[in-house]
Every structure is written in C-alpha cells, then in structure tokens.
Structure 1
Amino acid sequence: MDFFIRIEKEREKLNKNENELLKYFIENAQDIKNMKIQDVAKKTFVSTAGIIRFCKKLGFNGYSELKNSLALTVKNQGEKGRVYTQSKTSSNIFNDIDKTKDMINDSIIDEITDLIHETERIDFYGEGSSRLVCMEMSRRFQLVGKQTYHYDDTSIMYLSASTLKEKDLVFAISMSGETSQIIRAVNIAKTKKATVVSLTSMSLNTLSNIADKSLFIYSTKYSINGINFISRIPAIILMEYVFNKYVEKYVG
C-alpha cells in the first residue's frame, strides 16, 4: 500500500515532535532508504527507541518496514510524476479517484461536517482551476442555507480574510499546497482565529501544515498538446463527499 495512504488515518495521533520526525522522513526519503536507524537517531536527536515507537504509531512493525514503504512510494511517484500524454489521461484520472477514495478518513470528515454546522460563515480560497472547485462548493452550501463566499480577486480574498471571526471557517484549496496567495490568505484568517481546512495533493506541504484540518487527494500531472494539467476532479469528488455527509447529518 502507498506510504501516504497507509499513514493518513494515523497522522492525527502524532504529537508535535513526531510530526517533525515525519517531516524529516519525507523530506529525506531518498537518503532514508540507505540509512540505519542509528543514523536517523543522530540526525534527528531522537532515540532509536523513540523512532521505533513512532514507526509503530504509524502502523508499521518497525523502522525497516516504514523506510521500505516510503522508498517504494517515492519510486512509484517518480514514475507517476512524469507528464503523461493525452492517450493515458482517462485511466490516470480514475486511478487518482480510487486512490483518493482509499485515503478518506471518515472521522476527520465527521469533524469537518461538525465545523460546517457550527459556523455562521464559510470562505473558499483557491487560485487558477481550483477556483472552480471553490465556486461549485460555495454554491452547494448556499443551497442548504450556509453563508458562503468565494473570490476571483486575491485582493478581495485578503480583505475578506481580515474580516473573519473566531469559529468562521475557511476551505483553502491548492494542489501543491504551496500557492503563495492562498497561504497568505490563510495566515490572515488564522490571525482572526478562524478555523482552516486545507485540501491539497498528498504531500507534506506548507498549507496542510498550517491548517487545523487537512484533506488530501491524488492528482496526476498530464499533458495535452504540450500544455501541462493537474485534474481537479478528485478535489471536486472529495468536497462533494464532504457536502453529502453534511447534508445527511444535518439537513437530510
């Protein structure tokens, strides 16, 4: 099983120091596969016993199983990270949808639906094609009586973020998790004590790190006539799943 899928349902159990250890493993994945546990302990200033506890907390038998799983996933992602031609895009999209479905953590989805129910206002932040996801989901939640906003202009997005209040909710959507405009808007929202839910491709990224709740998808790059694309279909499907869960719990 893919390393990121395997750990997703366990990540919530990690404390701050363990999250830093996970960040080290992911950022140094290429080196980890050739490192002994003692080498990692020296680099991270974590005891070998602490590393083993960390591995088991993520559902692995020990250090060797974790590093082998991570190495295999990085190798596979390297192959998937190549830009595909048009003839392969349809199968890649369905594979991405299946992988996204496998990563769904219903306990986190349930927490997010509670946040939606408790808030008076929801802002949706997205740039480029992610704006389409924001537009559609804003419209959906408006239909069930929620006060929602999405923005085509980043300056208005920043202004809106500055008017948020405690318990207001932000959905921030960025495939890379590194879109500077979205990160800036989210940081403004955090200063107002708003709650932030991120939606990004599966990776260790800035946006998911600063969010209160994180949703992840798989989305493969592909190319048509020399132009690169990243599908937002898995993002739309995951957000629609959140919407349907909210409706079932609080509206239906």
Structure 2
Amino acid sequence: MNIFLKKLQKKQDQLSPLEQQVLEYILEHPEEVAQSRVNDIAEKIYVSTATISRTSQALGYSGFQEMKYALIRHMEDGQRPIYRPSKDLSQLATRVQFELTQTLQAIEQPSLEAGAKLLAEGQRVEFFGVGSSFSCCFEAARKLTFSGRIADAREDWDELRIVANHLTKQDTAILVSYSGETMLSLEYATILKERNVPIIAIIGAKNSPLEQLATIVFHVEVTNGYYGEIDMSSRIPMHLILELLILHYIEAYVEK
C-alpha cells in the first residue's frame, strides 16, 4: 500500500460505519475508483452518492472528484522515481543534477519574461506556500524586497486567506506547491482567480488543479523521496525557478 493510501487509512477511526465502508472500497480498489464515476461506486457498495461525498470530505477533500483526482495523481507518483535519502554525496549530487536539468529544460523563455513583467507591474507581490513550500517563498520574497519591490511571504494560513481576499488585479500572486493539489493552496488560488489577480504557479506535478487556475505555470522536476513516511522530496527546483524569475525582473526592469 502506498503512502497516500496509508494516510487515508489512518483516518478510518474518524469515520462513521458507512463512511468506513466507502474508504475500505477505495483502499482495496484504488485503480477502479480512479476510473469510476461516483454513481458507479455507489451502486457497487450499496451506499448513496451523498455518503461517498461525505466520506471524501471527511478525508480532507471538497468532494469525490477532488479525492479521485488526488488518488490519480498519487498513483502516477507511484510510477515516478523514488529515492531513499542517503548520506552518499554522489547519489545526492546525481539526483539534484537530474532535477535541475529536467527543470531547466522545461522552462520556456516567454514564460520567464511574462513572469518578470508581472513582478514589475504588480503593485504588491504576495507569495503563497504552505508546509515545505513556505521556505521557498520566504527566501524569494526577501530577495525581491531587496531589489526594491514590495513583496511578502506569510506563514499563517488565516493571514494568507485574508491577503488573498484583499489583492486586486493590479497585484501579483506567486503560488508554490509540490503537488498542485494542496487544499489550502487551491483555496487561495480560487480566491485570487475570482478577484482577477494574476497568478504565477510553480508546481511539481503536471495537469494539477492549481495549474488550471494560474496565469503562468512553471513545472519543476522533483523526485519523490521518503524516509519512512517522512517526505524528504527536495524543493531545490522551486528555488531555482524563483531565482530565475527574480533575476529576469532585475535585469529587465531594475538595472534599466
């Protein structure tokens, strides 16, 4: 059983008997659930579609579709390279070099130029990153501030929500997310999208829900790494994209 399914399993005791029945079916038939409609599953396990929706919400998702998408993404991740962290410097160097090379090859110059323009034109630049992604945002906001822009990265989730609700189309938002499906990141992005705020998204997965909400998207290569159940996946490629964006902004708009 992969780590994603294990995380779902840990919430089993928080569910009602009917919801536990739904979760058990998901754990035993993940491939089938990933390809099924909610009505199909409801008929197979003799529960209502509302029960499946409540189960999905109890597992931390807005509904069945979001839970299903997360399941699909993590099944795809299971087929991606996974490394076990090691003190071996050559192994570490090889992995980092691979991630950076793949990330650089995926960058499109017009996207960097468009991103730098948004940094220059935005009255405010706000960074949104939760969990491990916050460190990327904090460092980038600091560098951008030293370059003369009004920029900030906030760690408090409620504060981020308030900021998202006050930004306008004259501002610029930068969202950093490894999966592109973190509920908080999607919540902030949805608010920003509704307020017509330009969004630069830096994501470690393709075809994610966050990608659909962004104005400009940069995909980064991140190799899944776990020490037991601790996510040790690197955020170095995110730092790289942010640094390139800031450098393009400085060279195009500050030095002139």
Give the structure-2-normalised TM-score.
0.65
List aligned pairs for 1:1-252, cutoff 5 A: 78=79, 80=81, 82-86=82-86, 87=88, 88-224=91-227, 227-252=230-255
Describe the shift of the 1:107–1:77 C-alpha distance in structure 2 as closer, same or farther (beyond 3 A): farther
Q: Which amino acid aligns with 1:192?
A: R
Across the aligned residues of Structure 1 and Structure 2, the Cα RMSD in angstroms comes to 2.3
Cα deviation per residue 1:153-197 (whole Å; 9 max; x = unaligned)? 110000011111112110011010001101101111122211111
Q: For this pair of structures, how many residues does the alignment match?
A: 180
Q: Which amino acid aligns with 2:231?
A: N
Q: Which amino acid aligns with 2:152?
A: Y
Cα deviation per residue 1:114-171 (whole Å; 9 max; x = unaligned)? 1111111011000111100000111111111111121111100000111111121100
Write the distance in 2 (CA, Å) between the matches of 1:126 and 1:75.
Answer: 23
Write the distance in 1 (CA, Å) between the matches of 2:140 and 2:76.
Answer: 35
Q: Which amino acid aligns with 1:84?
A: R
State the percentage of identical aligned residues: 21
Tell me the CA shift for residue 85 of structure 1. 4.0
- Structure 1: which 5+ residue stretches go unaligned? 1-30, 32-73
- Structure 2: which 5+ residue stretches go unaligned? 1-34, 36-74
Q: Which amino acid aligns with 2:79?
A: G
Query: Quick check: 2:186–2:210 contact (8 Å CA) kept in 1?
Result: yes
Write the distance in 2 (CA, Å) between the matches of 1:136 and 1:162.
Answer: 23
Query: Quick check: 1:99–1:218 contact (8 Å CA) kept in 2?
Result: yes
Write the distance in 1 (CA, Å) between the matches of 2:210 and 2:219.
Answer: 11
Tell me the CA shift for residue 223 of structure 1. 3.0
Query: Which of the pair has more CA radius of gyration?
Result: 2
Query: Quick check: 1:83–1:228 contact (8 Å CA) kept in 2?
Result: no
Describe the shift of the 1:97–1:179 C-alpha distance in structure 2 as closer, same or farther (beyond 3 A): same
